[in-house]
Structure formats: structure tokens, C-alpha cells
Amino acid sequence: MPGLLETTTHTVELLLPELEAIYKDLHQHPELSMQETRTADIAANYVEKLGYDVTRHVGGTGVVAVLRNGDGPTVMLRADMDALPMAEATGLPYTSTVRAKDEEGIEVGVAHSCGHDMHVTWLMGVAHVMAAHRDAWRGTLMAVFQPGEEVARGARSMIDDGMFDRFPKPDVILGQHVMVGAAGTVGYRSGTILSAGDSLKVKLFGRGSHGSQPQTSIDPVIMAASTTLRLQTIVSREISPRDSAVLTIGALQAGTKENIIPDDATLKLNMRTFDEDVREYMLGAIRRICCAECVASNAPREPEFTTLSSYPLTINDAATSERVREAFESHFGEHAYETDPAAASEDFSIFGREWAVPYAFWFVGGTDPEAFRKALEAKKLNEIPSNHSPKFAPVIDPTLRTGLEAMLCAAGAWLESRDDSA
């Protein structure tokens, strides 16, 4: 019996122009985390017309679409929908010019600079193909369009909204992400594929004064600067070279005028780790250093710590990953490869962790293959605009096709009808 991809090749080919139009529309109309109303409506309306049982507003703007097709495994496919609070600088004819207010009421540019518009388009395409070829598979397909990945709240909000009670428990959960890499390739991995990510806001308190009278102040700017430098020693002096970790101070905010010493300063920092013990140690070290610097500065009170986001490690199940690998290598040949772990983070794994379901996550290359080859040969891969760069822009062809085929391929590893007599 032909495999799912072989059966659906013609449908995929005919579908690509429609999906390209959808992708460009989503790209031009990005929405911030937990505000993805338009995107969710587009996805929900599309799959509902295909015959899926669609539930909207799960965990806010989340969409769960279920297609039952006889006895067999239940496979959950997930795509995240949200965009980033940043202006786009790709120069594409379908560039986003959207501006919106974030949760703090600040107006920001909005752009799909992480590729979630591609993820939504892929899943819509997979839903279309699977509905059109019910005779090629059996089981239950659950397509999940998730909000709020960029703020690490979307998966949790869907779970807290009764997702596990309202929908069938899957036998496997599958997801993918467009990344820097030659378009047309897929990168799989067993075990850890994405780091844990923790973001904190630390408010340091001083005593304000006139810039001409520093002796009457407790300067939080100096405090913040010293803290910033000292925090960098956690990775360089307290973490073993055998362990991988990153700590970045992404924002230092203090004051309004050059001759005013402010009352407080705020640091916003992000850390990535690949080991739970290292993660816990670093979180403790951050608190220790911040508190110690405040004591050294004679601060009037201890710093205030706020968790902005927290992502667990993404650790692919070994047996699930092996089945995905076999499917990818069978279909993509040399264009499927074992990838290294990435120091990026996702809340995708929360579904599998909380539901006690095996999961697998993989990467789909989105870089022009020739541009990637030249950068690789010149050892300048770091110069390719990556996810979260204002210039990040996956090439549509063949990225759109590859991601669609990859998800169909992986889903088919569970759902394909097989000749039991063979």
C-alpha cells in the first residue's frame, strides 16, 4: 500500500499556491501573544470547512480541531500562532507594518520574526490534506493552534482551560519549528533538542537625588551596572565548561534625565540551560549576586524579583524520535539529518509533560539553500538573520512544501493504513 505522502502528492502540489497566499496574509497581519484573534479565526474557519470538530477560545484564543477517522491512534499536531513586539525590516512586499499595544499599554511594532505564521500555514495545510485523503489513514487527528508561545503562557492556558478533560488523549504529540538552515532540510534529534529558558525582571532600589549631589544618593544606576557585570561571571566562573549555559541582560532601564539620579533601576535578563541542576544553580546565583550588590551599595531594601517566563527543557522521547527519524530518512533522504540541540526554548513540551504523552519536536530549514551554502563555506553562518531578528524571513519555496511534508510524514508514521496481511 502506498504511504500517506505518496498518496497525497498531487493534493499537496495543488494546495501550495493557496497556502502561500494564506502565509503572506498571516505574515502581513501578525498579532501579539494572547491577542491572536484574527489568526485563530482564520485557522478555525478553514479547518471547520474541512469537516473537523472545532473548539474555539481554548485558553483564550487557542483552537482545537479534531477529525475522527475510524479506529487507530490519536495524533496531536501543534502550531503556535503569536508574533513578536518588534518592527520588521525584511523589505518583503508582504512586510508587516502592524502596530499594537502590548500588555503594558505601550505601542510596539508587530512582526512574525520567529516564523509562527509558517507554522500555522503548515498545520492548516496538513489538516486539508488529511481531510481530503481519509482513505489513506485511520485514527484521530487533533490539530492544535496555540496562543502565547512567546510569553510561555499559551500551552499552560489551554491546559488550565480543561484541555485534558475536553479532548481525546493523544498517543503522541508532534511539533516543528522553522529555523536557520538550508530550506528543504529537516533536523531531528532524540533526547534534548531545546534548552530550558527563564526570564526574570529584577528591580533594584536606591535613593534619588540631584546629579550634582551624588553623596546624598544611593545610585541605582551604578548598582545595576555592577550587577550586570557580575552576573556575567556566573557562566564564565561558576558553571563547568562541560555544561552549556547562557545568561543575557536584555534590558537595563533607569532614570529619565541626565542630571537626575533615579530612585530605582530595572534589569531584565534571560538564561538558557540544558540541565535542571545547572538551571537551579543559576537561578540561585542570580538572586545571590543581585542581593549582594544591593548590600554592597547600602540599598534601602532588597531587590524585587519577578518571573517573566519559564520554559522547560524539550526532551524528545527516544522511541518516538526513532519512528520520526525513519519516516524522515525514508522520504527526505540526505535532506534529513540529526541536528544539535538549540539554545532556544519552547512551551511545546508542556503538553506532553503534563499529559504524560510521548512527544517529538524537530526543525525545518528556512534559509535560501544557496545563501546557506555560501555562508557555511565562508564560516559566516552567524551573519544569517535568525529567529527574532527584524530581518528573519524564511524563503517560501521550498520551506512551505518541506514543512507540510515533514508534518504529514511524521503523522503518517502513526496514522498510515497498513496492509495487515503483509
Per the annotation, where are the binding residues? 114, 116, 150, 177
251 three-class SS? strand
Nearest alpha carbon to residue 124 among 31, 52, 34: 52
Which residues pair with residue 199 across a beta bridge? 270, 309
Residue with cell 548590600: 295
3 state SS of 243: coil
* The C-alpha cell that represents 144 in the structure block: 492544535
Give dist(CA 141, CA 411) in Å, integer.
9
Q: Which residue has the cell 544557496?
A: 370
Rounded CA-CA distance 222/299 in Å is: 11
> Among candidates 156, 139, 161, which has minimal Cα distance to 56?
161
**Could you tell me which residues are annotated as the binding site for Mn(2+)?**
114, 116, 150, 177
Measured CA to CA, the distance from residue 326 to residue 419 in angstroms comes to 19
Q: Which three cell numbers stand for residue 379?
A: 564560516
Instruction: Decide the pairing of beta strands 53-58 and 62-69.
Output: antiparallel
Start-to-end CA span in the chain (Å): 10
DSSP per-residue letters across 185-214: -EEE-SEEEE-EEEEEEEEEE-B-EETT-G
Are the C-beta atoms of 11 and 404 separated by less than 8 Å? no
Instruction: Count other Cβ atoms within 10 Å, centred on residue 238.
Output: 13
Q: How many CB atoms are located within 10 Å of the residue 70 CB?
A: 10
Grid cell of 45 as nine digits: 474557519
What cell numbers appear for 418 in the block? 497498513
Report yes or no: 263 and 207 within 8 Å, Cβ to Cβ: yes
